[in-house]
Chain A
Amino acid sequence: EVQLVESGGGLVQPGGSLRLSCAASGFNVKTTYMNWVRQAPGKGLEWVSVIYNNGGTSYTDSVKGRFTISKDNSKNTVYLQMNSLRAEDTALYYCAKENYNKFDFWGQGTLVTVSS
């Protein structure tokens, strides 16, 4: 059974950093494209980043240079390092498994709040 469990969210001051984790089970992140998608409170979904099976990455413009996606194949875990956080980064961050351009499994999300 596929499972995705996010962790690492919390309250952080503007300019601060957080690292989110997404622990996967039931499949191998080594051979899978993995994404982060966020949802600000009361707002819609926003794609954030992807890491390909070969380790290549892509980001939405608003987080380029501030966020870094990575993975540890031995731990079957994907990470999102978030630096220089802004109030507008406040959101529920979902980890999503990608399968040929569709997000077929989602975690339950971890909440990031950026506030002083």
Chain B
Amino acid sequence: QSALTQPPSVSGSPGQSVTISCTGTDSDVGSYNRVSWYQQPPGTAPKLMIYDVSNRPSGVPDRFSGSKSGNTASLTISGLQTEDEADYYCSSYTSSRTYVFGTGTKVTVL
């Protein structure tokens, strides 16, 4: 199972919006609405930010939103804040009854 493809890095100024893509295949992202996004600041454990493509757990700011089209899911951070600086990973359930993570994207707030 190959990792889902994410851009290595994205950046934006405070208040701007950034979008991270997550491209998979018909065997994972394209077949299931079971895509999650995780935020991982340096030296910390991942934190769930989005689940089932576009749902936010309680406590996650509504600046974070998710979507999916075909084999590509996306995470958008609107109104970027300095505390959003972290690595972000997507994840999808697969047809093999396993999970696959994305390659990871470093978000930098300029």
Hey, which bits of chain A sit against chain B, CB under 8 A? 35, 37, 44-47, 50, 58-61, 94, 100-104, 106-109
Contacts and interface: CB of A to CB of B under 8 A. Distances in A.
Given A44-B104, A60-B1, A106 B91 contact: no
B83 to A, nearest CB: 19
B69 interface: no
Interface of B: 1, 3, 32, 34, 36, 38, 40, 45-48, 51-52, 57, 89, 91, 93, 97-104
B48 A35 contact: no
Given A60-B98, A94-B45, A102-B34, 10 more contacts: A35-B99, A45-B46, A45-B104, A60-B1, A94-B46, A101-B93, A104-B48, A104-B57, A108-B45, A109-B45
Q: Top 5 closest A-B pairs, CB basis?
A: A102-B51, A47-B99, A101-B34, A44-B104, A106-B45
Count chain B CB atoms within 10 A of each CB in A35, A44, A107, A109 and give the residue with the most: A44
A10 to B, nearest CB: 19
B45 A44 contact: no
21 contacts: A44-B103, A44-B104, A45-B40, A45-B89, A45-B91, A46-B101, A47-B98, A50-B98, A58-B97, A100-B52, A101-B32, A101-B36, A102-B36, A103-B36, A104-B51, A106-B45, A106-B46, A106-B47, A107-B45, A108-B45, A109-B45
A44 B48 contact: no
Contacts of A101: 32, 34, 36, 51-52, 93
A9 to B, nearest CB: 14
Contacts of B38: 45, 103
A111 to B, nearest CB: 12
Contacts of B40: 45
Given A44-B101, A47-B101, A58-B97, A103 B91 contact: yes
Nearest to B94: A47
A37 B48 CA distance: 14
Nearest to A46: B101
Count chain B CB atoms within 10 A of each CB in A59, A101, A102, A104 and give the residue with the most: A102
